[in-house]
Amino acid sequence: MPDQTSLHSDTGGPGAGGATASVPPAVRVEGLWKRFGEQIAVAGIDLTLPAGRFIGLVGPNGAGKTTTLSMVTGLLRPDQGRVEVAGHDVWRDPVEVKARIGVLPEGLRLFERLSGRELLAYTGRLRGLPGDEVDKRAAQLLDVLDLAGAQHKLVVDYSTGMRKKIGLAAALLHNPQVLFLDEPFEGVDPVSAQTIRGVLERYTASGATVVFSSHVMELVESLCDWVAVMAAGRIRAQGTLEEVRGSAPSLQSAFLELVGANGRDAGESLDWLGGGGTR
């Protein structure tokens, strides 16, 4: 199993995924810390995510993924450290960064009393796009994401999967350079997941970057070409999928080894649990 130091840490050059030397990494994080009271959520991480990749940020519950993504996207101020997106400092240059990113955060809050179509129209105008361009893009996104039939329904009446899809459409509307998605497939049925996947694959094929967090290793393994593994507020590995997987048979096995979950009591101590018991 490779440790973090043996994996790519310097990116942006041709060896780091085909980007040219002049292209800054999609994300560069240095010494990032966040503490909530006694709880250290993110413990001084360094992370370099190359541009033009489909990147998975994986880790067990409570690893610090959401906290990291919130700091990287300018939603949560770090206690310490620096974050750059596409070469711009997130906290010194927020307007430059926000124009270049799309975000689908965890626990997405939407304008519930707007219809899906109105939400996209409003988002597009906030992004400074001309009205006719917003109309064109909104109609295409609603169509591709299979929401055209629900475009005049209020967002409050959308299902969990529909909310994810309209949130994704809003995040893509201004054609961002880097798209951040926190658990984009959670609560999404397989058909919608396939649709979202198709949209994201098309988006990265054109040179844009997707960074998404997930616990689902099979999904990350099938979608991502670059992976960062987080546990207990630290980065345990980062690199291409092949590098992080190393000699392990799957990303799941590599992950369990990296986060130290192999050999954990798998419920043997619950000797009272099971059928046939009397109490």
Ligand X SMILES: Nc1ncnc2c1ncn2[C@@H]1O[C@H](COP(=O)(O)OP(=O)(O)OP(=O)(O)O)[C@@H](O)[C@H]1O
Residue 34's contacts (CB-CB under 8 Å, 6 or more residues apart) are 40, 41, 42, 64, 67, 71, 76, 78, 79
38 binding ligand X? (CB under 6 A): no
- Binds ligand X by CB under 6 A, chosen from 56, 64, 116, 124: 64
Residue 236 sits in the site that holds ligand X (CB under 6 A): no
- Is position 36 an interface residue for ligand X (rule: CB under 6 A)? yes
Residue 110 or 216 with smaller CB distance to ligand X: 216
Q: Does 77 interact with ligand X (rule: CB under 6 A)?
A: no
Using DSSP bridges, classify how beta strands 226-231 and 54-58 pair: parallel, antiparallel or unpaired: parallel
Min dist CB 72 to ligand X, Å, is 12
As measured in angstroms, the least distance from the Cβ of 75 to ligand X is 11
- Nearby residues of 199 by Cβ (< 8 Å), 6 or more positions away: 144, 145, 168, 172
| Largest CA-CA distance found in the chain, in angstroms, rounded | 69
Q: Which residues contact 21 (CB under 8 A, 6 or more apart)?
A: 12, 13, 14
In the complex, least distance from residue 32 CB atom to ligand X, rounded to whole angstroms? 12
Nearer to ligand X, 169 or 244 (CB): 244
Using CB under 6 A, pick the residue from 25, 50, 52, 59 that binds ligand X: 59
Query: Is 41 near ligand X (CB under 6 A)?
Result: yes
Q: Does 65 bind ligand X (CB under 6 A)?
A: yes
For residues 133 and 109, what is the distance between their CA atoms, to the nearest angstrom? 25
Give the Cα separation of 85 and 96 in Å (integer): 9
Rounded least distance, CB 64 to ligand X, Å: 4
Q: Least distance to ligand X from the beta carbon of 273, Å? A: 24
Residue 78 is a binding residue for ligand X (CB under 6 A)? no
Number of H helices and E strands in the chain, helices first, is: 9, 10
Helix (H, G, I), strand (E, B) or coil at 194: helix
Count the site residues for ligand X by CB under 6 A: 12
Stretch that binds ligand X, among 36-44, 79-87, 141-149, 239-247 (CB under 6 A): 36-44
Compute how many other C-beta atoms are within 10 angstroms of the C-beta atom of residue 205: 10
In eight-state DSSP terms, residue 255 is H
Question: 13 vs 44, which CB is nearer to ligand X?
Answer: 44
Instruction: State in angstroms the smallest separation of the CB of 39 from ligand X.
Output: 5
**How far apart, in whole angstroms, are the C-alpha atoms of residue 28 and residue 25?**
6
Q: Which is nearer to ligand X, 38 or 268 (CB)?
A: 38
* Residue 115 lies near ligand X (rule: CB under 6 A): no
* CB burial of residue 50 (10 Å; 0-12, 13-18, 19+): buried
Our finding on whether 66 is near ligand X (CB under 6 A) is yes
In angstroms, give the least distance from the CB of 91 to ligand X.
18
Residues that bind ligand X (CB under 6 A): 36, 39, 41, 59, 61-67, 215
